[in-house]
Amino acid sequence: MIFPIAVSVFVFVLVYVIIALNLINKATISILGVSILLLFGILTLEEAFASINLQVIFLLTSLMILANVTKETGLFLYFAIKLAKIARGDPLRILLLLAVLTAVTSAFIDNVTTIIMYAPIAVLIAVELGITPVPFIVTMVIFSNIGGTATLIGDPPNILIGYSAGLSFGDFIMNEGILVIIVSLVCLFLTTRIFGHQIKTTPERMQRIMNFNETSVLTDKKKIIQTGFVWFWVIIGFLFQDMIHVNPTIIAMSGTALILTITRSSPERFFAEVEWITIFFFIGLFILVGALEKYMIINFLGNNLIAVTQGNTTLSAMVILWGGGILSGFIDNIPFVAVMIQLIHNLNESNLLAQESNIYWWALSTGACFGGNFTLIGASANIIASEMSRKSGYEINFREFTKYGIVYTISALGISTIYLYLRYLI
Amino acid sequence: MRNLASFFNPSYIVLGSSVKNKTEGVRFLVRLLAQDIHELDVDTICNTILERESLYPTTYANGVSIPHTRIPQYNNLTVLILIPEKPIWDGDHEIKIFFLVLTDQAKSNLYLNVMAGIAKLSQNPEWLDFIINAPTQQNFLDRVKSFGIKIESVIRIQDIMNTAYPKLSPDASVKDALDCISMTQKPYIPICGDNDELLGEITIHDIIAIGLPPYTNFMKNLSFLISLEPLEDMLKRESGIELHTIMRKPSIVLAPDTVIIEGLFQFLKNRHRSALPVAEGIYFKGVLSYLELVNNFLRV
């Protein structure tokens, strides 16, 4: 029994460290870890396959295809330009409106796609205004991570938590959504204080923004209507998931099939654009955590956590929230959440209050998602945005991002602490 | 392997010409070619050929004259044929047929093989009589074709590449590059050092990319813009932007002795490219563009 436990723990820790140090691609190393477990007979092939949560895999894949088809319509570009014009070309107002747009979009579309869609137009607007795009990039990254926290489909950790804890899209909106609105308002205020003085421009420059013709980006109006129609029903499906008793994966898959059919989009192209790295990373991770579960390692960790917190719900929730937040700033939050999910199941078994209020789940979701804002390497969206910025001639280094990230993240986690306490513990 | 006839063009076959001597014959043929290639310096070429002929005559006892020369930067291999209505005298020999062969230094392989093919044809008196009496240009070609003389040549990049291709130094500016593209109508420019080392390459895309920075690549379209700061900036500074700041290392470099199949394959694999540089080691030798492929290989 010692050998399989040792190998499971060793492989998991090794994969975790390699991902944290960014030594090998995360999909490659997690699949390699799985191969080791299978070769050593730690798991059988059947056990490995049974560990994969196919609902999560298909939900992620479907959402990626939906997002990519929507991206093609130019609708997101239209929204961004329209908001810049509503702001009359004023840099601070544009920054705040783009932050809100990013947060709302991130609630429904993964953060990386959101950043890929909005960061370029933000850079272009900043260049036209004759100011540095860095405040725009940093703010949009921060708000994409905040916005993603609001829904079941906004951030991969939420998908994992939602499926494992049986929490619906509506549950996330009613619990995390409200918190996200409060945190966003505070962070918008912070943005005005942090960046307001850095982004001044001239009326001539503002006029350049007003000269943009946003309607010209909408080249295929029929496709926009079709895409909007599908998204409308997908969101309705998610919102009323509890009433109609349809699994979110089925809703997303149906939406994907419908959007590809009615827009007559090339499936080859959109299937090719699926982020297979993320998908295979998830598959590998499910199996690696499956091995920890099989050999009761998660149980062991859970019991120790209970011992440390002495079963105190408030203390446990704060450890999960702040521990998750800080760790997520430095390491990938997905493997962390995957392990924590099993731990929380154990904690909930011995704590009826926590089980009924779902406080540990909300603490985990909040910590893992908001924590991505701590540092430049805290989330994939941060890395993508900084890379995009660097290629455009505006370097955002680890130190500079972290300087802003710490302020936003500590504020967000502080507000979350108060929110969780007032809402679930009193 | 190609039939010798495939190197002859019916437009460049003159039957029953009234030329009186070799000089007239050569001048007639060079002028004929100059009708298609206007930049040819007829007098210089004729003088070069005739000077060479005076030193090393190429008229043989069988009545065949094969004057030839290499024209710098001619970038082609052309065989022009003339059959006088009556044989004309050149020294001790009669000329019944002229084969004027023009090429440039880079096509030496093919050139030599074609010369060898003409020599083989000339050595057979029956074949020679047969083609001299051909009633039409097409019939002339058909008769040559029927002999089945094959040119033992693997066509290589050096046989068809453009050796007169414009190139710029890394210190040249974007303005120079735009001027060069505008004047030569070639959207690809190799960047070479003082000793013709191939240092890099630029295309019109690289120049456009200065004005449309990488972040614009992520957008669906830019139709909402009527102006763009980086593009305006680039147009203002075009004289000050040196090419070494934007040139790329060539991703593909063909060696001169590369077989033509590989050249075609590289074009197919890299569909966005209109030209590929050719270099021997680090030294630039020429460019293979679609134009050379069509004119010197696919169309022949």
| pLDDT tens-digit readout, B157-173 | 887 788 889 999 999 99
Inform me whether the pLDDT recorded for B129 exceeds 70: yes
Using an 8 Å CB-CB cutoff, list chain B residues near A386.
none
Nearest to A116 among B218, B225, B229 (CB): B218
- Across the A:B interface, residue pairs with CB atoms under 8 Å apart total 60
Nearest to B220 among A72, A208, A392 (CB): A72
Using an 8 Å CB-CB cutoff, list chain B residues near A81.
224
Q: Please indicate whether, in this complex, the C-beta atoms of A393 and B213 are within 8 angstroms of each other.
A: yes
pLDDT score at B299: 52
pLDDT score at B300: 43
Q: What are phi and psi of B2, to 5 degrees?
A: -115, 145
Bridge partner list, B247: none
pTM of the model: 0.73
Percent of chain B that is helix, strand, coil (3-state, to 5): 40, 25, 35
Q: In this complex, is the C-beta atom of B229 within 8 Å of any C-beta atom belonging to chain A?
A: yes
Torsion of CA B186, B190, B195, B197, to 10 degrees: -150
Name the amino acid, one letter, at A363: A
Mutate to test the interface with A, among B210, B220, B223, B232 (most CBs of A within 10 A): B220
Return the number of other C-beta atoms located less than 10 Å from residue B85's C-beta: 10
Nearest CA in chain B to A391: B214
Residue A208 gets which letter from DSSP? H
Specify burial of residue A304 (Cβ count, 10 A radius: 0-12, 13-18, 19+).
Answer: exposed
pLDDT score at A113: 85
DSSP H helices, A358-397, are: 359-371, 380-391
Distance from CA of A101 to the nearest CA of B (A): 17
pLDDT score at B84: 93
Distance from CA of A130 to the nearest CA of B (A): 9
Nearest to A120 among B218, B226, B230 (CB): B218
Nearest to A388 among B215, B223, B229 (CB): B215
**B42 touches B34 (CB < 8 A):** yes
Distances (CA, A) of A14 to A6, A19, A297, B276: 12, 9, 16, 46
Average per-residue pLDDT in chain B?
88
Among candidate residues A74, A80, A101, the one with its CA nearest the CA of residue A212: A80
Q: In this complex, is the C-beta atom of B223 within 8 Å of any C-beta atom belonging to chain A?
A: yes
ipTM above 0.95, yes or no: no
pLDDT score at A108: 92
Distance from CA of A392 to the nearest CA of B (A): 6
d(CA A88, CA A82): 10
Residues in chain A whose Cβ is within 8 Å of chain B? 71-72, 74, 77, 81, 116-117, 119-121, 123-124, 127-128, 130, 208, 211-214, 216-217, 219, 388, 391-393
pLDDT score at A85: 95
Which B positions 138-177 lie with beta carbon below 8 A of chain A? none
Name the amino acid, one letter, at A325: G
Q: Please indicate whether, in this complex, the C-beta atoms of A120 and B215 are within 8 angstroms of each other.
A: yes
pLDDT score at B151: 80
Residue B281 gets which letter from DSSP? T
pLDDT score at B296: 63
Name the amino acid, one letter, at A313: T
pLDDT score at A133: 93
Q: In this complex, is the C-beta atom of B233 within 8 Å of any C-beta atom belonging to chain A?
A: no
Q: Please indicate whether, in this complex, the C-beta atoms of B227 and A130 are within 8 angstroms of each other.
A: no
Q: In this complex, is the C-beta atom of B228 within 8 Å of any C-beta atom belonging to chain A?
A: yes
Query: Between A397 and B247, whose confidence is greater?
Result: B247
Residue in the structure block whose two tokens are 């991206």: A71
d(CA A269, CA B248): 29
Using an 8 Å CB-CB cutoff, list chain B residues near A121.
219
End-to-end CA distance of chain A: 44
Report strand pairing: B2-3 vs B150-151: antiparallel
**A371 touches A345 (CB < 8 A):** no
Residue B23's pLDDT band (cuts 50, 70, 90) = very high
Q: Please indicate whether, in this complex, the C-beta atoms of B224 and A208 are within 8 angstroms of each other.
A: no
The answer for residues whose C-beta is within 8 angstroms of residue B129's C-beta and 6 or more apart is none
Torsion of CA B143, B146, B149, B153, to 10 degrees: 100
**A331 touches A347 (CB < 8 A):** no
**A25 touches A15 (CB < 8 A):** no
Among candidate residues A274, A290, A276, A278, the one with its CA nearest the CA of residue A33: A290
Distance from CA of A25 to the nearest CA of B (A): 24
Q: In this complex, is the C-beta atom of B54 within 8 Å of any C-beta atom belonging to chain A?
A: no
Listed range (A163-177, B51-65, B179-193) with the worst mean pLDDT: B51-65
Q: What are phi and psi of B142, to 5 degrees?
A: -60, -40
Give the containing element (helix H, strand E) for A81. Answer: helix A75-86
Q: What is the pLDDT along chain A (426 residues), one digit of tens a residue?
A: 789 999 999 999 898 888 877 788 888 999 999 999 999 999 999 999 999 989 889 988 998 899 888 888 889 999 999 999 999 999 999 999 999 999 999 999 888 889 988 999 999 999 999 999 999 999 999 999 999 999 999 998 999 999 999 999 999 999 999 999 999 999 999 999 999 998 999 999 999 999 999 998 887 889 999 999 999 999 999 888 878 888 889 999 999 999 999 998 888 888 888 888 888 988 998 899 889 888 888 778 777 777 787 778 899 999 999 988 998 887 778 878 888 898 898 888 877 777 888 999 999 999 999 999 998 878 888 888 888 888 788 888 888 999 999 999 999 999 999 999 999 988
Using an 8 Å CB-CB cutoff, list chain B residues near A208.
227, 229
Q: Please indicate whether, in this complex, the C-beta atoms of A392 and B224 are within 8 angstroms of each other.
A: no
pLDDT score at A304: 79
Nearest CA in chain A to B229: A128
Specify burial of residue B84 (Cβ count, 10 A radius: 0-12, 13-18, 19+).
Answer: buried
pLDDT score at B108: 61
Using an 8 Å CB-CB cutoff, list chain A residues near B227.
208, 211
Nearest CA in chain B to A120: B215
Q: What are phi and psi of B256, to 5 degrees?
A: -55, -35
Inform me whether the pLDDT recorded for B202 exceeds 50: yes
Residue B274's pLDDT band (cuts 50, 70, 90) = confident
3-state secondary structure of A44: coil
